A and B are shown apart, each in its own frame.
Chain A
Amino acid sequence: MAHVVKYHPSISLLEQYSEGTLAPELCLIVAAHLDFCPHCQTLHRDIEADLGCELAMQKAPVVDGSQWEQMLDQILSAEPVAREELSKQHSLHSADNKSGRVSELLVGAHRFTVPRSLQRIVAKRNKWLTLGGIATAKLPGSEENHLSLLCIETDTEVPLHTHKGLEVTLVLAGEMVDEMGHYAAGDLIINTPDHTHTPKNISAEPCLCLSVLTAPLEFKQGLTRLLNPLQRFFY
């Protein structure tokens, strides 16, 4: 991908993603960012190496031996998975035509490529709802975190809106601008409740985004820890 991603998650956000402690919907948007961003892929791998080392360097607590022996026997009695089966399972990660995955998305007359991490969930999208030059489709999310796709036509402004939680947006295709920057594929935009903005598509191509709206209170305590320093500055 020729485009260089400019807006990244903070290291602490990446850490929570790598640990798997971040809300699943936010994990997903970070995963989709990684599909675009070699820099964060490297950091993510570094964090995993760090966490793996920490796991292994712990002092093991004293445990009851027979309980472990029992588990060990149980595992060793399990049938090994055949090598062919393993490589088949493994290649499913990148396979395009696995059922339940879509690698391409059609919005009106526009065709978009779907990043690896989103191929399963995009297949489960609701109907597109169109208003003005904006089309949205809900994706399965939780009560707390709403996940949706947003397609903004050329010369279209997203109406000024407020939100009570975080609004995290990832540009999947095309470009858009707001009061603070110019964003293209892979760029991650995090807005806090206090912070209103008016995203606009002023380019000649439609702009496709993934958006997560979090519950009002979820990040009240650790709010600044989720944001990169630029946003912290504006906050």
Chain B
Amino acid sequence: MLDPQQRSGHYGAEISLQSRPMTTQEMTPAIAAGQWEEALAIVALHRDKSAYAELFRYFAPRLRAFGIKMFGNEQQAMEMVQDTMLNVWQKAALFDASRGCASTWIFTIARNVRFDMLRKKQSRKDDISADDLWADGDYPEQEDNQSQQWDVHLVAEKVAPHFHALPPAQRLVMEKVYLDELSHQEVSEQLGIPLGTVKSRIRLALDRLREAIDGPRS
């Protein structure tokens, strides 16, 4: 599990963009302090190679692990990493921090690259491509949905049996908010994940609990 002390240490940390040699050490995961969003902005503005190198060193090995999980083989995984990270280099100007964090943007690029790789292999990319399926960034921003705001405390008894069925990451956030009564900001700091992700996980968990209790949304 994550060590909260270690996490919160990243808060307010200076962004280090100096080039340093590629290590074979594990890099400590850290995404909450906003440094990757800033790195992308610097790449977009100045085509800054050292800012890009930092991004690359952090995300490329993680994309590789993700790719191996998705493709089941190293070769295609590495092809996906290269294509994804090339997109990050060339299209950094398209990243819009107001729509989500850097890791989300990079994830969506990798997903789309992977999808189009699989379609191309079947010579079917012309029929359905990632561009058709994911209009990311094109939808207008939504207001927080009022119907989502039901009070978990009021239905605790009904909710309890479904809590354990939540995905672990969502359950953890829900426990911190509803059992430990931490603020969203405090949860973000403790877990070292962006505030937006805390809110996303709560919304998803609530919808999931609602689905379990009420049946479909209506």
Give the interface of A toward B (CB within 8 A): 6-8, 10-11, 17-21, 24-25, 27-28, 31, 34-35, 38-39, 41-43, 45-65, 68-69, 71-72, 74-76, 78-81, 83, 86, 90, 93-94, 116-121, 124, 140-142, 228-230, 233
- Docked Cα-Cα span, A19 to B70, in Å, equals 10
Closest chain-B Cβ to A177's Cβ sits at a distance in Å of 16
19 A-B pairs besides A55-B59, A59-B26 with CB distance below 8 A are: A10-B211, A11-B211, A18-B111, A27-B133, A42-B203, A46-B200, A48-B108, A49-B194, A55-B110, A58-B66, A71-B60, A76-B52, A76-B53, A76-B89, A78-B89, A80-B89, A117-B135, A228-B211, A228-B215
Beta-carbon contact of A72 and B53 below 8 Å: yes
- Docked Cα-Cα span, A64 to B61, in Å, equals 10
Q: Quick one: closest A residue to B99, CB to CB?
A: A45
Give the interface of B toward A (CB within 8 A): 2, 21-27, 29, 31, 36, 47, 49, 52-53, 56-66, 70, 78, 81-82, 85-86, 89-91, 93-94, 100-108, 110-112, 114-115, 119, 124, 126-139, 142, 145, 169-170, 192-194, 196-197, 199-201, 203-204, 207-208, 211-212, 214-218
Q: Quick one: closest B residue to A141, CB to CB?
A: B127
Main secondary structure of the interface of A (DSSP, over half): helix
Which of chain A's residues have a CB closer than 8 A to the CB of B100?
Answer: 45, 48-49, 52
Beta-carbon contact of B127 and A124 below 8 Å: yes
Beta-carbon contact of B91 and A43 below 8 Å: no
- Docked Cα-Cα span, A140 to B127, in Å, equals 6
Beta-carbon contact of B194 and A53 below 8 Å: yes
Beta-carbon contact of A28 and B61 below 8 Å: no
Beta-carbon contact of B24 and A28 below 8 Å: no
Which of chain A's residues have a CB closer than 8 A to the CB of B134?
Answer: 20, 31
Which of chain B's residues have a CB closer than 8 A to the CB of A53?
Answer: 31, 101, 103-104, 169, 193-194, 197
Q: Quick one: closest A residue to B64, CB to CB?
A: A63
- Docked Cα-Cα span, A121 to B129, in Å, equals 10
Q: Which of A6, A72, A119 has the most CB of B within 10 A?
A: A72
Beta-carbon contact of B132 and A49 below 8 Å: no
Which of chain B's residues have a CB closer than 8 A to the CB of A233?
Answer: 215
Given contacts A24-B119, A31-B133, A76-B49, contact A8 B93 (CB under 8 A): no
Beta-carbon contact of A116 and B211 below 8 Å: no
Which of chain A's residues have a CB closer than 8 A to the CB of B81?
Answer: 71
Closest chain-A Cβ to B123's Cβ sits at a distance in Å of 11
Beta-carbon contact of B200 and A38 below 8 Å: no
Beta-carbon contact of B93 and A83 below 8 Å: yes
Beta-carbon contact of B107 and A52 below 8 Å: yes
Beta-carbon contact of B132 and A121 below 8 Å: yes
Given contacts A49-B100, A52-B107, contact A61 B61 (CB under 8 A): yes
Which of chain A's residues have a CB closer than 8 A to the CB of B101?
Answer: 49, 52-53
- Docked Cα-Cα span, A87 to B88, in Å, equals 15
Which of chain A's residues have a CB closer than 8 A to the CB of B192?
Answer: 57
